[in-house]
């Protein structure tokens, strides 16, 4: 049974990760003001320490009784705690890769790390949001931090353009999402997810109430689809991925995806699960379009960041298919897929950053030519990552697709599963392009790895995990299912 508390010691205990991280942001921000240029690395270490402690606090809350606090607007449950641990862990890995990039490109500034912590705080609020207002508050904290991060290389025209595109389109999507929320609030009379669920599942809804719920639902789906980068709300993804500094693209392509899935679960599964028949049809259309367009357009890309952007759109389509099924096992498969995707994306963008040098962005597929001869170990790591993204066994990417398709077929959507498999096979081509470039083409110049040892070590572990986790997929699938 849910335990709803007012502000007391239970409230403080349940929200310790958010309270600590907010306090750490204030402290690190003030300290950074007084650090000289030679001590700016201190901000990086303080950020990593703050994230680690926040993650440890979230881990400590796993298996705690479900508790709803702050007047029903904030929930502590296993899904929230596990997602927070994964978000913080992914952010810490991203920061290790980021430090090398920022140093190489003269972007090492204290505000970068403050913005990363602010975005993680926004994601934590989203994951635990149990009110439309709380969810929107977390989303805006995240979005505003990301807009600024993308534009942090203000001397680059591409980065500023990408930030403006993301800001304008993001503002429109946020407005549509907020409009949908206002419609749901207006007809249900509540912002609380639990009360909205009770209203939506009521058997005596008038036709006018059902119509308004459906109307609001469409706008909610549009807003969530934009944040995930699903077709046809994907226009920002390739431009932002290409234009943003690679370290920001790395962060943008990984951690916020967990928060977007969490928001989807809170609003559509927990809040409007009774209306699954309505929103699942929308999701199926968006999923098929995303898989098809992402797989086909990626074939024509020569910029690896842009190619991975369209690859992300395709992966998002598979994630949405899990929610189409309407069963817990389908939702678990979707969560499993997003966690696997983040592991793969961290390794892929980490490899791009690894090859970066001062004044040189390794953002073309041709930049990987001959990598196997100059650095056989990291060529092998990139090979593992690309094969996993393509869905080749025994790598974990194969099982993520397998579990999704298994649930889709079980739900009776055989045709959709066949279409997804066809485009998954097509998508293998652009991953094989990178492998071909590394192993079968000659480089015009020698490729040297100048990254620090901590990055090389974490990147190696990251890539090896893609294989190791693939050997024991059942454990991770059971973990994903336990969140629902």
Look at residue 4 and tell me whether its pLDDT is greater than 60: no
Greater pLDDT, 451 or 465? 465
Look at residue 2 and tell me whether its pLDDT is greater than 60: no
Look at residue 1 and tell me whether its pLDDT is greater than 50: no
Residue 10 located in a structural domain: no
Give the gyration radius of the chain's Cα atoms. Answer: 22
pTM here is: 0.92
Q: How far apart are CA 422 and CA 112, in angstroms?
A: 41
List Cα–Cα distances, 165 to 162, 253, 267, 349, in angstroms: 5, 16, 26, 22
Cβ neighbours of residue 405 closer than 8 Å, sequence gap 6 or more: 321, 417, 420, 421
Residue 139 located in a structural domain: yes
pLDDT band for position 8 (50/70/90)? low
What pLDDT, on a 0 to 100 scale, did the predictor assign at position 11? Answer: 65
What pLDDT, on a 0 to 100 scale, did the predictor assign at position 33? Answer: 85
CB contact at 8 A, 90 and 254: yes
**Taking residues 424-442, what's their average pLDDT?**
89
**Taking residues 181-196, what's their average pLDDT?**
90
Count how many domains the chain has: 1
Cβ neighbours of residue 163 closer than 8 Å, sequence gap 6 or more: 147, 148, 150, 151, 243, 244
What pLDDT, on a 0 to 100 scale, did the predictor assign at position 220? Answer: 92
Residue 308 located in a structural domain: yes
Q: How far apart are CA 201 and CA 139, in angstroms?
A: 26
CB contact at 8 A, 311 and 294: yes
Of 83-87, 239-243, 381-385, 437-441, the poorest mean pLDDT is in 437-441
**Mean pLDDT, the chain, as a whole number?**
88
Look at residue 397 and tell me whether its pLDDT is greater than 60: yes
Q: What does the DSSP 8-state code read for residue 271?
A: I
Of 134-148, 165-179, 201-215, 413-427, the poorest mean pLDDT is in 201-215
Residue 395 located in a structural domain: yes
CB contact at 8 A, 288 and 317: yes
**Taking residues 50-57, what's their average pLDDT?**
94
Residue 9 located in a structural domain: no
What is the per-residue pLDDT across 362-389, written as a single tens digit (0 to 9) for each? Answer: 788 888 888 888 888 988 999 999 999 9
What pLDDT, on a 0 to 100 scale, did the predictor assign at position 480? Answer: 84
Q: How far apart are CA 309 and CA 236, in angstroms?
A: 10
Q: How far apart are CA 122 and CA 259, in angstroms?
A: 9
Q: What does the DSSP 8-state code read for residue 70?
A: T
Greater pLDDT, 137 or 100? 137
What pLDDT, on a 0 to 100 scale, did the predictor assign at position 178? Answer: 92
Residue 2 located in a structural domain: no
Q: How far apart are CA 378 and CA 68, in angstroms?
A: 46
Q: Residue 309 class from Cβ within 10 Å (0-12 exposed, 13-18 middle, 19+ buried)?
A: buried
Q: How far apart are CA 302 and CA 306, in angstroms?
A: 8
Neighbours of 460 (CB within 10 A): 16
- The residue with tokens 């790598």 is 395
What is the per-residue pLDDT across 334-366, written as a single tens digit (0 to 9) for each? Answer: 999 999 999 999 999 999 998 887 667 778 888
Look at residue 219 and tell me whether its pLDDT is greater than 60: yes
**Taking residues 155-159, what's their average pLDDT?**
84
What pLDDT, on a 0 to 100 scale, did the predictor assign at position 64? Answer: 84
**Taking residues 123-152, what's their average pLDDT?**
92
**Taking residues 324-342, what's their average pLDDT?**
91
**Taking residues 97-124, what's their average pLDDT?**
90
Owning domain of residue 284? 15-482
Residue 181 located in a structural domain: yes
406-439 burial string, b = 16+ CB within 10 Å, else e? bbbeebebeebbeebeebbebbbebbebbbebbb
Residue 4 located in a structural domain: no
What is the per-residue pLDDT across 289-306, written as a single tens digit (0 to 9) for each? Answer: 999 999 999 988 888 999
Cβ neighbours of residue 372 closer than 8 Å, sequence gap 6 or more: 379, 380, 438, 439
What pLDDT, on a 0 to 100 scale, did the predictor assign at position 401? Answer: 92
- In the numeric block, which tokens belong to residue 52? 């680690």
**Taking residues 97-126, what's their average pLDDT?**
90
pLDDT band for position 9 (50/70/90)? low
**Taking residues 58-80, what's their average pLDDT?**
87
């Amino acid at each position: 049974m849910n335990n709803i508390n007012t502000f007391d010691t239970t409230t403080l205990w349940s929200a310790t990760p958010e309270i600590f991280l907010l306090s750490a942001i204030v402290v690190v921000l003030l300290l950074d003001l007084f650090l000289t240029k030679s001590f700016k690395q201190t901000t990086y270490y303080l950020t990593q320490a703050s994230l680690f402690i926040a993650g440890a606090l979230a881990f400590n809350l796993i298996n705690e009784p479900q508790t709803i606090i702050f007047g029903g607007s904030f929930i502590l449950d296993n899904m929230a705690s596990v997602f927070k641990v994964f978000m913080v862990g992914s952010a810490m890995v991203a920061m290790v890769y980021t430090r090398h990039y920022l140093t190489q490109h003269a972007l090492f500034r204290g505000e970068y790390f403050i913005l990363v912590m602010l975005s993680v705080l926004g994601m934590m609020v989203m994951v635990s949001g149990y009110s439309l207002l709380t969810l929107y508050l977390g989303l805006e904290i995240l979005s505003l931090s990301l807009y600024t991060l993308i534009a942090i290389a203000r001397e680059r025209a591409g980065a500023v353009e990408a930030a403006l595109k993301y800001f304008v389109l993001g503002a429109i999507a946020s407005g549509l999402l907020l409009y949908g929320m206002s419609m749901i609030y207006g007809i249900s009379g509540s912002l609380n997810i639990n009360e909205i669920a009770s209203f939506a599942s009521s058997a005596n809804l008038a036709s006018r109430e059902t119509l308004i719920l459906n109307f609001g639902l469409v706008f909610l789906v549009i807003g969530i689809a934009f944040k995930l980068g699903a077709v046809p709300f994907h226009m920002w993804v390739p431009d932002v991925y290409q234009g943003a500094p690679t370290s920001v693209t790395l962060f943008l392509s990984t951690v916020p995806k967990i928060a977007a899935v969490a928001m989807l679960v809170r609003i559509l599964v927990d809040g409007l699960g009774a209306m699954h028949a309505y929103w699942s049809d929308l999701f199926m259309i968006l999923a098929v379009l995303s898989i098809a367009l992402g797989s086909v357009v990626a074939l024509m890309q020569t910029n690896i960041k842009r190619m991975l952007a369209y690859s992300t759109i395709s992966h998002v389509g598979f994630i949405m298919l899990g929610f189409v099924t309407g069963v817990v096992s389908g939702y678990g498969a979707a969560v499993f897929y997003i966690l696997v995707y983040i592991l793969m994306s961290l390794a892929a963008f980490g490899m791009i950053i690894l090859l970066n040098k001062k004044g040189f962005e390794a953002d073309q597929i041709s930049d990987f030519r001959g990598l196997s001869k100059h650095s056989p170990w990291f060529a092998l790591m990139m090979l593992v990552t690309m094969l996993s993204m393509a869905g080749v066994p025994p790598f974990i990417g194969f099982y993520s697709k397998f579990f999704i398709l298994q649930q889709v077929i079980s739900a009776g959507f055989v045709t959709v599963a066949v279409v997804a498999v066809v485009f998954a096979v097509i998508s293998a081509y652009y991953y094989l392009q990178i492998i071909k470039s590394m192993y079968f083409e000659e480089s015009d110049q020698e490729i040297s790895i100048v990254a620090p040892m901590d990055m090389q070590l974490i990147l190696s572990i990251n890539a090896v995990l893609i294989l190791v986790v693939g050997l024991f997929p059942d454990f991770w699938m059971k973990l994903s299912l336990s969140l629902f």
